[in-house]
Amino acid sequence: MGVSGRVAVVTGAASGQGRATSLRLAGEGAVVAALDVDAAGLASVMDEISDMGSRCRGLQVDVSDAEAVAAAFDEIEADLGRAYVLAAAAAIYPPGALSHLRDPEETARVFDVNLMGVVHCASAATRQMIEEGRGGRIVLWSSIGAGAAIAGHAAYCAGKAAIEGLGRALAAELGPFGITVNTIAPGAIDTPMISDAPPDEAYYEILPAGRPGTPGEVAHLVSYLCSDTSGFMTGAVLALDGGLSGINGAVRPDV
């Protein structure tokens, strides 16, 4: 059955990897609940999914607000049904700054969105999955920054490292309910989030893959983790980084 006919909640759905995930799951027959703070982006995603002949409900939600998240999941249940999939892609990546110089409120905001936003959504989704009694699929987003420092982004790296621990713990807790929890750790993916990163030419020298990844490639992995055939995979952290986490320095030989 996979996701066909089932409710998939996608956060950060208005752009980038969340948008690609929403479109991919909708194309596989899921009923998508798209969450984001970007109203215009949500409207665009809803239009595109509607043009595909699939159903989508867009909700403008700040995932860092626990009450707003709870209310959104209540609306989803009333309108679409209980969640079977949670793809928690929402995150922020503020401009780089040394930790001791960054505004403490901005640091707190990174943790509120990137970590607590995931906690709020996972808790709400889990309650619905357990009540429904059909199991479920939860996919969290980490980053290569969880295991390798990105100078100027200490709060982002710390929050993503916490997501990996959260994913493993939730997998242990929720296994008896037939719910899998896996975490993906993307590297350089061609989205607005890396718009200030090195140009594509640099990735040829840095990455074994020779290029940044695409949101569609991330969505393909999410699709597998939400499928019926992925039931034995849980508690995993899966790198999707073009080989970056396995190398030391430039990889192109000087021949």
Domain boundaries, the chain: 7-246
Residue 200 has pLDDT above 60, yes or no: no
Q: Which of 156, 203, 204, 224 is catalytic?
A: 156
Gap between the Cα atoms of 172 and 201, Å rounded? 42
pLDDT band of residue 255 (cuts 50, 70, 90) is: very low
Average pLDDT over residues 150-179: 97
Mean per-residue pLDDT of the chain: 93
Backbone φ, ψ for residue 46 (5° rounding): -60, -40
Q: Please write the tens of the pLDDT for every residue from 86-136.
A: 999 999 999 999 999 999 999 999 999 999 999 999 999 999 999 999 999
Gap between the Cα atoms of 209 and 147, Å rounded? 20
Residue 33 has pLDDT above 90, yes or no: yes
Number of C-beta neighbours around residue 162 at 10 A: 18
Is 156 designated active site?
A: yes
Give the predicted TM-score (pTM) of the model. 0.94
Gap between the Cα atoms of 88 and 121, Å rounded? 7
Gap between the Cα atoms of 196 and 58, Å rounded? 29
Residue scoring higher pLDDT (61 or 249): 61
The architecture that CATH gives domain 7-246 is 3-Layer(aba) Sandwich (3.40)
Residue 248 has pLDDT above 80, yes or no: no
> DSSP secondary-structure letter at 28?
T
* Residue 191 region by backbone torsions, left for phi larger than 0, else alpha for psi between -120 and 50, else beta: beta
Residue 26 has pLDDT above 90, yes or no: yes
Q: Mention every residue, 6+ apart, whose C-beta is less than 8 A from residue 11.
A: 18, 35, 36, 61, 63, 86, 87, 88, 89, 90, 117, 121
Q: Which long-range contacts (CB under 8 A, 24 or more apart) does 70-73 make?
A: 70/120, 70/124, 72/33, 72/35, 72/124, 73/9, 73/121, 73/124, 73/125, 73/127, 73/128
